[in-house]
Structure 1
Amino acid sequence: MHRRRRTALVLCATIVTAAPLLTACGNDAHPGAAAVVGDQRITVAQLENRVNEVRAAQRAATPDDAQYEQTIARTGGLTRDTLHSMVLDEVLKKAVEDAGVGVTRKDIQAFRTSLERQVGGPKALETTWLQQYGVAPQRLDDSLRTEIEAQKLATALGVDMNTDAGQATFWKALSDASKKLDVDLNPRYGTWDVQKSSRVDAKTPWVREITAPAQPQPA
């Protein structure tokens, strides 16, 4: 299954590694916004809601407290990773529009059905996406749409994503889309590298890193 799906999952490669959460205070260029992508404003509340959806799904899938704490520790960068994904989705959408291709509901359903057959059913697919890509079950179709968009973009560009040259051309299209959208991240979440279409940690003195939920202090 995985070899046939590498075209789109190359998008996940830069965001699935665990990293510490960022908490910060500072002057926001867009109060209440985690990022502004073109005319799309991703609010902090929207970002937190996405993160909470994943945490709730992880909690439901891991009833044992000790195992859940281990899951939290392994996915310490969930907030930043989720924002990266939300911004990259918008960038990809722009690149796909520029290429003149689109994704239909039928495309998504056919792709989902195919994956469900390969992994052993709907529940197995939801579990796989949650564990490997930090996608909550209710966001699965959105994630599959992104994968199909990436595949169609590669096809429209006439590139082979199994080659370095093909990947370079693909990411150049995303870079061009990033420039057009003028991506602006809230400094607490880092900055956006236009050339790589990727979020980059900001080196700021007021950033505090947290790798696990805070423990209660003794009275």
Structure 2
Amino acid sequence: MHRRRTAIALSAALAAAPLLTACGGSPHAGAAAVVGGQRITVAQLESRVNEVRTAQRAAATDDAQYQQTLAQTSSLTRDTLHTMVLDRVLNRAAEEAGVGVTRSDVEQMRQGLEQQAGGSKALQSAWLQQYGVAPQRLDDSLRTEVQAQKLAGALGVDMNTTDGKAAFWTAMAQASKELGIKLNPRYGTWDVQKSSRVDARTPWVKEVTVTPGQQA
């Protein structure tokens, strides 16, 4: 499963995106994905990716280290879109299960993780390196962690067991189906049963990473 999450096993590419057609045949120009009839635009995706690239650039000790980071995270654009879509799927599944997340829930998780990591900066660094989460998105990421844990609780499943994981992802698959997810073909397709992005079989299409400062 996607590397981004712990609880649910849980750059910028491409100048001009082709039309993306959602259910019903309506064109969605400039969309990286359409989830529940709502667009995730290419511009929104690029912005999220650039946040990570900027943070990675700031964390690198020199250009050689930054280039190494770029090579290690060459799929950042696709991974980021996966995360953005999966977050919406989780939101739908959580809503249907009557699950809510409070600011206090997020703060409590953050405090615990900061103690384990050795402080706020250390936690931000760890989340950036391990999950590709920019510092300003850390609370959003932690909210998703809490939401996933609460959803598992509402479903009455243990995520440490095979049956528990299967039940959790069955709920996620149902939410994916209801949302009618469509990805821009250049980013692959969405597997409803696995609630996961799948690469398209187009080896001639290469992802181009635009680092901050390179855009026109």
What range is the shorter-chain TM-score in?
A: 0.7 to 0.9
Query: Does the 8 Å CA contact 2:49/2:77 hold for their aligned counterparts?
Result: yes
Residue 138 of structure 1, aligned match among 136, 139, 145: 136
Is 1:10–2:9 an aligned residue pair?
A: yes
Matching residue of 1:110: 108
CA shift in 2, pair 1:107/1:150, >3 Å:
same
Aligned partner of residue 36 in structure 1, secondary structure: strand
Report how many residues are paired: 200
2:182 matched residue in structure 1: 184
Aligned residues with identical type, % of pairs: 69
In structure 2, do the counterparts of structure 1 residues 209 and 136 end up closer, same or farther at CA, with 3 Å as the change threshold? closer
Instruction: Could you tell me which runs of 5 or more consecutive residues in structure 1 were left unpaired when the two chains were aligned.
Output: 12-19, 214-219
What TM-score, normalized to structure 1? 0.85
> Residues 40 and 191 of structure 1: is their aligned pair in 2 closer, same or farther, counting only changes over 3 Å?
same
Pick closer, same or farther for the CA change 1:25–1:98 going to 2, 3 Å: closer
Secondary structure at 1:93 match in 2: helix
RMSD: 2.2
Q: 1:61 to 1:21 in 2, by over 3 A?
A: closer
1:208 counterpart residue number: 206
What's the counterpart of residue 28 of structure 1? 20
Query: Moved runs in structure 1, 4+ residues, more than 6 A?
Result: none
Of 63, 66, 79 in structure 2, the residue corresponding to residue 65 of structure 1 is 63
Question: Which structure has more helix as a fraction of its residues?
Answer: 1
Q: Quote the Cα distance in structure 1 between the aligned partners of 2:209 and 2:50.
A: 17
C-alpha contact (below 8 Å) 1:183/1:192 kept by paired residues: yes
- In 1, distance between residues paired with 2:124 and 2:31? 29
**Aligned-partner residue type, residue 20 of structure 2:** D
Q: Identify the range of structure 1 (37-46 vs 133-142) with the bigger mean alpha-carbon deviation.
A: 37-46
Structure 1 residues 16-95: aligned runs within 5 Å:
26-29=18-21, 30-95=28-93
Distance 1:136 1:10, change over 3 A: same
Amino acid across the alignment from 1:186 = N
Shift of 1:9: 4.8
Say whether the 8 Å CA contact 2:12–2:45 is kept in structure 1.
Answer: no
Residue identity in the other structure for 2:201: K
SS of 2:34's partner is: strand
Corresponding residue for residue 96 of structure 1? 94
Distance in 2 of aligned mates of 1:181 and 1:129: 28
Provide the rounded CA distance (Å) in 1 between the counterparts of 2:45 and 2:210: 19
Which 5+ residue runs of structure 2 have no aligned equivalent? Answer: 22-27, 212-216
What CA distance in whole angstroms lies between the structure 1 residues aligned with 2:12 and 2:57?
19
2: distance between equivalents of 1:78 and 1:167? 26
- 1:120: Cα distance to partner? 0.3
Deviations 1:120-151 (A, max 9, x none): 00000000000000000000000000000000
Q: Relative CO higher for 1 or 2, CA cutoff 8 Å, sep ≥ 6?
A: 1
Q: Tell me how far 1:84 sits from its aligned partner.
A: 0.1
Closer/same/farther in 2, CA of residues 170 and 184 from structure 1, 3 Å limit: same
